């Protein structure tokens, strides 16, 4: 489902050189597999997810999703692939504040291959327990409810791969457990692979399959220009 | 659904700036259309208002003043035409109709014009249209102290059949200059939408022999309205009165003389057009400023849309569509502004000149202006749209600690 090979990303440093943030030689995730990556803040795990999602362009290396080399695609095609095959759950949820709950999910769907399917969006929101809050705006919901909207939006397009970046970072323990269970459950129902990154041991402990991002990432050496 | 939803929600989210910007565009659009329509219609209405006559004969002076005085009942008379001159032109073989006019009095600001009853019985003031007196009234008798009121003057003065009044001397109302003569209203004219509606018509003799008027000028007239038998007659009479003679002025053709007036103020048109273009540019600039200033607030939304799979061109198009939508909203409200302004201006022009502008008239400017405004606004949206296009997704979405 996901194959990452020799993926490198660096940024200019204030001193004039470049700082390498991500350098992953090889990473694989099978279809339907659920994996948690442990990583401290600033370890480059969000950059890693952004590279997989095609939000960031890599300096070198390849990202292959469901047989398509994301890194070889033009930006519009990367956008299309992201909309078609990926669901992204952000730490800060990134809900559109001026849009209703239903519209948030519909917009997430509208860039994908099936388009904005209102019935399916309602069904997804019902699945995460928000069928009665469709016309509410995000700021009218609790933090936990907002996270559930983000889950519904990420999964409404029936993605092949779900990326979750510290998805419970803004939730208390109770809501964190609920949100995590929901993400895993709905991903499983839809047959989507799940790649979750977190620094929270409790979250990581919920996964049978987990790995250390620090072991995966060979970066952190400054590259002189 | 996507683009309209994004545009709608963005407009809602920035409702205040949307309303203010669209209001500015509405004013600009309404003003532009109003200026254009009033200018076009006023020119057309003034140049086509001839009251059914081809020419005017009057005292030596400006042709424009003569036409304004005799046809539009504006300005002062340039002087008098002697009775002998009137009789001569009346009997001229090339003249079909000659109607004398005498001016110099008013009733509370509305002009009293002395004339022959034939004006209302024989003359078509527009092709196929004759004057009609409202039911219960009749045209004055030539030798009686009677009056026939134009519809607008009657309405404003509250005149009705059977009322009597005393005229005031001069063209401007002076309460101390009341004449001793009593005139009885015998009829009210149906509206003609011409300057005739603003006049109170009395017999020629009634005005000539009004108490206090100079008895020596009691047979003179102020002007003579003429219908010619052929257009060639106009050229011959022009030669006779204007080139060979030096006592009288023959103003022909009436429409062309009024058009000269508009020709003389053509520079004003250009100034108006320049102002209009500047107003439109300012409106487009306001859209640019409004959306551009809100870009920092909406950067995150745009980045989220991009992260969800929206292409750069989608967010570019959304911002452009939003600018065009503000333009469209402004243009739509602009029609209300236009109709309000135009109705007000038309009412003033009617009250001052009797010329009626048509609120329902069609003109290309009524679709060109709104479309151009929408286009300009969309153009104004290009800069913020470009900014949206270049929004860096990952950096913008990075959590703020």
DSSP string, B305-348: HHHTT--HHHHHHHHHHHHHHHHHHHHHHHHHHHHHHHHHHHHH
Contact between B197 and B152 (Cβ < 8 Å): yes
Min Cα separation A74/chain B (Å): 11
Convert the pLDDT of each residue in A82-118 to its tens digit.
999 999 998 888 999 999 999 999 998 998 888 889 9
Taking chain B, what is the end-to-end CA distance rounded to the nearest angstrom? 35
The pLDDT of residue B201: 96
Q: What's the whole-number mean pLDDT along residues B237-257? A: 91
Which of B294, B304, B313, B314 to probe by mutation at the A interface, max A CB count within 10 Å? B304
Chain A residues with CB-CB distance to B2 below 8 A: 107, 110-111, 116
Residue A66 lies in a domain: no
The pLDDT of residue A9: 93
Reported for B213-220, long-range contacts at CB under 8 A and 24+ positions apart, including other chains, are B213/B104, B217/B80, B219/B82, B219/B83, B220/B80, B220/B81, B220/B82, B220/B83, B220/B102
Q: Per the structure block, which two tokens stand in for A11?
A: 């940024």
Which of helix, strand or coil describes residue B31? helix
Confidence of residue A225 (pLDDT cuts 50, 70, 90): very low
Q: CB pairs below 8 Å between A and B: how many?
A: 79
Contact between B330 and B22 (Cβ < 8 Å): yes
Inter-chain touch B311–A79, beta carbons under 8 Å:
yes
Rounded to whole angstroms, the Cα distance separating B267 from B39 reads 13
For B211, residues 6+ apart whose C-beta sits below 8 A from its C-beta are: B179, B180, B181
Which residues make beta-bridge pairs with B178?
Answer: B168
ipTM: 0.87
- Is residue B281 pLDDT above 70, yes or no? yes
* CATH number of A100's domain: 3.40.50.300
In this structure, how many other beta carbons lie within 10 angstroms of the beta carbon of residue A77? 14
Q: Which of B61, B80, B63 is nearest to B71 (CA)?
A: B63
The pLDDT of residue A184: 93
Convert the pLDDT of each residue in A123-132 to its tens digit.
989 988 889 9
Provide the 8-state DSSP code for B139. Answer: P
Chain B residues with CB-CB distance to A153 below 8 A: 308
- Is residue B401 pLDDT above 80, yes or no? no
Question: Looking at the complex, does the CB of residue A111 fall below 8 Å from at least one CB of chain B?
Answer: yes
Confidence of residue A38 (pLDDT cuts 50, 70, 90): very high
Convert the pLDDT of each residue in B187-197 to its tens digit.
999 998 889 99
Residue A7 lies in a domain: no
Convert the pLDDT of each residue in B80-109 to its tens digit.
999 999 999 999 999 999 999 999 899 999
**CA separation (Å) from A62 to A5, A37, A59, A119, B182?**
5, 19, 10, 37, 106
Convert the pLDDT of each residue in B293-316 to its tens digit.
888 878 889 999 999 889 899 999
- Is residue A136 pLDDT above 70, yes or no? yes
Residue A129 lies in a domain: yes
Min Cα separation A218/chain B (Å): 22
| Top-ranked range on mean pLDDT: pick from A46-50, B43-47, B244-248 | A46-50
Query: Most distant CA pair in chain B: distance in Å?
Result: 101
Rounded to whole angstroms, the Cα distance separating B31 from B43 reads 18
Q: Which of A152, A187, A146 is nearest to A168 (CA)?
A: A146
Q: Which of A192, A115, A117, A114 is nearest to A151 (CA)?
A: A192
Which of helix, strand or coil describes residue B282? helix
Residue A21 lies in a domain: no
Q: How far is CA A55 from the centre of its chain?
A: 11
- Is residue B400 pLDDT above 70, yes or no? no
- Total structural domains within chain A: 1
Output the 3-class SS for chain A.
CEEEEEEEEEEECCCCCEEEEEEEEEEEECCCCEEEEECCCCCCHHHHHHHHHCCCCCCEEEEEECCEEHHHCCHHHHHHHHHHHEEEECCCCCCCCCCCHHHHHHHHHHCCCCCCCHHHHHHHHHHCCCCCCCCCCHHHCCHHHHHHHHHHHHHCCCCCEEEEECCCCCCCHHHHHHHHHHHHHHHHHHCCEEEEEECCHHHHHCCCCEEEHHHHECCCCEECC
Inter-chain touch A98–B12, beta carbons under 8 Å:
yes
Contact between A12 and A18 (Cβ < 8 Å): yes
Min Cα separation A47/chain B (Å): 8
Q: What is the mean pLDDT of chain A?
A: 89
Mean pLDDT lowest among A158-162, A219-223, B75-79: A219-223
Convert the pLDDT of each residue in B314-346 to its tens digit.
999 999 999 999 999 999 999 999 999 999 999
- Smallest Cβ–Cβ distance between A55 and the set B1, B393, B399 belongs to B393
Inter-chain touch B2–A110, beta carbons under 8 Å:
yes
User: Among all residues of chain B, which has the CA nearest to that of A81?
Assistant: B309
Pairing of strands A34-38, A193-198: parallel
Q: What's the whole-number mean pLDDT along residues A163-184? A: 85
Strand arrangement, sheet containing A18-29? A68-69, A60-65, A2-12, A18-29, A222-223
DSSP assignment of B86-113:
HHHHHT-TTEEEEEEEEEEEEETTEEEE
Rounded to whole angstroms, the Cα distance separating B159 from B163 reads 6
Residue B195: its H or E element? none
Confidence of residue B1 (pLDDT cuts 50, 70, 90): low
Confidence of residue A224 (pLDDT cuts 50, 70, 90): very low
The pLDDT of residue B48: 78
Q: The domain containing residue A189 runs over which residues?
A: 33-57+72-214
Chain A residues with CB-CB distance to B305 below 8 A: 96, 107
Contact between A189 and A159 (Cβ < 8 Å): no
Question: Looking at the complex, does the CB of residue A78 fall below 8 Å from at least one CB of chain B?
Answer: no
The pLDDT of residue B13: 87
Residue A207 lies in a domain: yes
Chain A residues with CB-CB distance to B10 below 8 A: 98
- Is residue B210 pLDDT above 60, yes or no? yes
pTM of the model: 0.76
Convert the pLDDT of each residue in A16-34 to its tens digit.
888 889 999 999 999 999 9
Inter-chain touch B393–A110, beta carbons under 8 Å:
no
The pLDDT of residue A220: 62
Question: Looking at the complex, does the CB of residue A152 fall below 8 Å from at least one CB of chain B?
Answer: no
Confidence of residue A222 (pLDDT cuts 50, 70, 90): very low
The pLDDT of residue A179: 82
- Is residue A52 pLDDT above 70, yes or no? yes
The pLDDT of residue A178: 82
Inter-chain touch B1–A108, beta carbons under 8 Å:
no
Convert the pLDDT of each residue in B343-356 to its tens digit.
999 999 888 887 88
Q: What is the mean pLDDT of chain B?
A: 90
The pLDDT of residue B87: 93
């Amino acid at each position: 489902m996901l194959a990452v090979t020799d993926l490198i990303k660096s940024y200019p440093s204030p001193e004039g050189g470049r700082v390498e943030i991500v350098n992953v030689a090889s990473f694989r995730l099978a279809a339907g597999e659920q994996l948690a990556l442990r990583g401290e803040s600033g370890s480059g795990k969000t950059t890693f997810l952004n590279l997989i999602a095609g939000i960031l362009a890599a300096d070198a290396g390849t990202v292959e999703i469901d047989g398509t080399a994301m890194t070889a695609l033009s930006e519009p095609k990367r956008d299309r692939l992201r909309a078609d095959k990926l669901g992204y759950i952000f730490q800060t949820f990134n809900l559109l504040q001026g849009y209703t709950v239903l519209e948030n999910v519909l917009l997430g769907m509208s860039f994908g291959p099936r388009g904005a399917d209102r019935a399916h969006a309602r069904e997804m929101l019902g699945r995460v327990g928000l069928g009665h809050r469709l016309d509410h705006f995000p700021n009218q919901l609790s933090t936990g409810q907002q996270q559930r909207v983000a889950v519904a939006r990420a999964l409404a397009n029936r993605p092949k791969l779900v990326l979750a970046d510290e998805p419970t970072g803004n939730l208390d323990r109770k809501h964190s457990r609920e949100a995590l269970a929901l993400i895993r459950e709905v991903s499983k129902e839809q047959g989507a692979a799940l790649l979750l990154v977190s620094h929270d041991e409790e979250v990581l402990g919920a996964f049978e399959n987990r790995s250390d991002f620090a072991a995966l990432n060979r970066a952190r050496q400054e590259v002189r220009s | 659904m996507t683009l309209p939803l994004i545009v709608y929600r963005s407009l809602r989210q920035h409702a205040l700036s949307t309303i203010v910007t669209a209001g500015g565009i509405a004013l600009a659009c309404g003003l532009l259309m109003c200026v254009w329509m009033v200018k076009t219609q006023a020119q057309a209405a003034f140049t086509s208002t001839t009251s059914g006559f081809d020419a005017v004969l009057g005292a030596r002076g400006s042709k424009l003043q003569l036409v304004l005085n005799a046809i539009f009942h504006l300005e002062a008379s340039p002087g008098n035409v002697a009775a002998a001159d009137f009789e001569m032109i009346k009997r001229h073989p090339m003249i079909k109709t000659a109607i004398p006019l005498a001016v110099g009095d008013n009733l509370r600001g509305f002009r009293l014009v002395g004339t022959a009853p034939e004006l209302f019985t024989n003359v078509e003031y527009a092709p196929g249209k004759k004057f009609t007196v409202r039911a219960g009234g009749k045209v004055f008798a030539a030798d009686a102290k009677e009056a026939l009121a134009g519809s607008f003057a009657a309405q404003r003065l509250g005149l009705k059949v059977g009322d009597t009044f005393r005229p005031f001397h001069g063209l401007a109302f002076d309460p101390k200059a009341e004449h001793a003569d009593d005139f009885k209203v015998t009829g009210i004219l149906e509206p003609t939408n011409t300057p005739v509606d603003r006049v109170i018509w009395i017999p020629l003799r009634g005005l000539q022999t009004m108490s206090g008027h100079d008895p020596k000028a009691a047979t003179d007239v102020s002007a003579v309205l003429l219908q010619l038998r052929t257009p060639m007659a106009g050229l011959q009479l022009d030669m006779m009165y204007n080139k060979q003679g030096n006592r009288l002025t023959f103003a022909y053709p009436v429409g062309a003389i009024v058009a000269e007036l508009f020709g003389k103020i053509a520079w004003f048109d250009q100034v108006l057009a320049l102002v209009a273009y500047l107003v439109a540019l300012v409106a487009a600039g306001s859209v640019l400023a409004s959306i551009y200033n809100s870009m920092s607030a909406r950067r995150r939304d745009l980045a989220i849309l991009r992260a969800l799979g929206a292409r750069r061109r989608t967010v570019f198009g959304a911002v452009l569509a939003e600018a065009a939508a503000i333009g469209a909203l402004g243009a739509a409200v602009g029609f209300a502004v236009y109709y309000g302004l135009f109705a007000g201006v038309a009412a003033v022009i009617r009250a001052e000149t009797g010329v009626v502008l048509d609120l329902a008239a069609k003109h290309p400017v009524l679709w060109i202006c709104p479309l151009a405004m929408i286009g300009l606004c969309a153009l104004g949206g290009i800069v913020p749209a470009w900014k949206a296009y270049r929004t860096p997704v990952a950096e913008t979405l990075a959590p703020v600690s």
